[in-house]
């Protein structure tokens, strides 16, 4: 099976899962995580219909975005301050803002380029020490502090589920969806002009649960690009 076929199969399964969950397939973006492959494989995924790709290293983001500038490129990796200008220059969406101090730096880099940078806040819902992301109770304050930045748009939340049993995965995804709802309520009450419209959760092993629990973006790598996933 080729990357093209695997992409088409995953998209079909995502569409079916949406229908089963009573959701519209248009409401769930399938982000093809191309971090382990080269441009030839990206081209095959595009043949299968892929339009949006995720990268976790700035150099790869820049290289592949330059090769396929009409596709949408998202940054999903750990952010180092000194690479923020590069990331901002190439990313349509940054999923992985996990430190408050990065937001003013992203704002500055975006202002320089005359763009407004959409971002998601990464949240460590499961509380595992090894995971990056803000603690759930920190997120409101960080959003409020950043709401006045003119060149950053906070557009939602992202999480990674623990590699664990179904229950732990569902607690993590369900927790993020609930957190989004309660944050939105508090932001509205305080008249803060931020709309958390996106939830980025779900990867190769756990995207079906994420669709049931309200994700708007699944980030799938191996099921598309690894030939051992047939
Ligand atoms: C690698 C990666 C993915 C994709 O993981 P797969 O298990 O290959 O689907 C998704 N999100 C992030 C943040 C990643 O680093």
**pLDDT (tens digit per residue) in 52-80:** 999 999 999 999 999 999 999 999 999 99
Give the mutation target among 31, 54, 123 for probing the ligand 1 site: most ligand atoms within 8 A of CB: 54
| Cα 76 to Cα 78: distance, rounded to the nearest angstrom | 7
CA distances from 43 to 6, 67, 82, 229 (A): 13, 10, 30, 19
Which residue lies with its CA nearest to atom 10 of ligand 1?
219
Please state which of the four CATH numbers 3.30.565.60, 3.40.1160.10, 3.20.20.10, 3.40.50.2000 is assigned to the domain occupying 3-225.
3.20.20.10
Q: What are the residue boundaries of the structural domains of the chain, listed by start?
A: 3-225
Distance 201 CA to ligand 1 centre (A): 10
The answer to whether 99 touches 122, Cβ cutoff 8 Å, is no
Which residue lies with its CA nearest to atom 13 of ligand 1?
76
Mean pLDDT of 84-105: 98
**pLDDT (tens digit per residue) in 127-182:** 888 889 999 999 999 999 999 999 999 999 999 998 878 999 999 999 999 999 99
* 3-class secondary-structure state, position 76: coil
Mean pLDDT of 180-191: 98
For residue 157, give every residue at least 6 positions away whose Cβ sits within 8 Å of its Cβ, in sequence order, or none: 120, 121, 122, 123, 139, 176, 179, 180, 183, 196, 198, 199, 200
| Cα 206 to Cα 210: distance, rounded to the nearest angstrom | 7
Q: In ligand 1, which atom is closest to the CA atom of 36?
A: 1
The answer to whether 179 touches 159, Cβ cutoff 8 Å, is no
Mean pLDDT of 182-198: 98
Mean pLDDT of 182-200: 98
First to last CA, the chain: 7
Task: Tell me, rounded to whole angstroms, the distance of Cα 171 from its chain centroid.
Answer: 19
For residue 78, the 8-state DSSP code is P
Q: How many H helices and E strands in the chain?
A: 9, 8
Closest CA to 196 of 183, 208, 213, 212: 183
Q: What is the pLDDT of residue 4?
A: 97
Q: What is the pLDDT of residue 210?
A: 98
Q: What is the pLDDT of residue 124?
A: 97
The mean predicted confidence, pLDDT, of the chain is 97
CB atoms closer than 10 angstroms to residue 94: 25
Q: How large a percentage of the chain has pLDDT more than 70?
A: 100
Which residue lies with its CA nearest to atom 12 of ligand 1?
76
């Amino acid at each position: 099976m080729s990357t093209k076929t695997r992409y088409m199969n995953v998209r079909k399964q995502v569409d079916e899962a949406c229908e089963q969950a009573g959701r519209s397939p248009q409401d769930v973006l399938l982000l093809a995580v191309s971090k382990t492959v080269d441009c030839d494989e990206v081209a095959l995924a595009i043949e299968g219909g892929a339009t949006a790709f995720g990268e976790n290293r700035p150099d790869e983001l820049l290289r592949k975005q330059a090769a396929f500038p009409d596709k949408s490129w998202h940054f999903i990796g750990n952010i180092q301050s000194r690479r923020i200008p590069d990331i901002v220059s190439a990313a349509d969406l940054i999923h992985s803002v996990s430190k408050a101090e990065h937001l003013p730096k992203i704002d500055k880099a975006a202002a320089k380029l005359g763009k407004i940078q959409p971002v998601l806040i990464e949240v460590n819902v499961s509380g595992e020490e090894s995971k990056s992301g803000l603690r759930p109770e920190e997120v409101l304050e960080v959003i409020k502090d950043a709401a006045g930045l003119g060149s950053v748009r906070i557009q939602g939340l992202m999480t990674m589920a623990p590699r664990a049993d179904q229950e732990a995965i569902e607690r993590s995804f369900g927790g993020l969806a609930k957190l989004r709802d309660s944050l939105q309520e508090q932001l509205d009450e305080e008249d803060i002009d931020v709309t958390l419209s996106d939830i980025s959760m779900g990867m190769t092993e756990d995207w079906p649960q994420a669709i049931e629990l309200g994700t708007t973006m699944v980030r799938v790598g191996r099921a598309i690009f690894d030939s051992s996933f047939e």
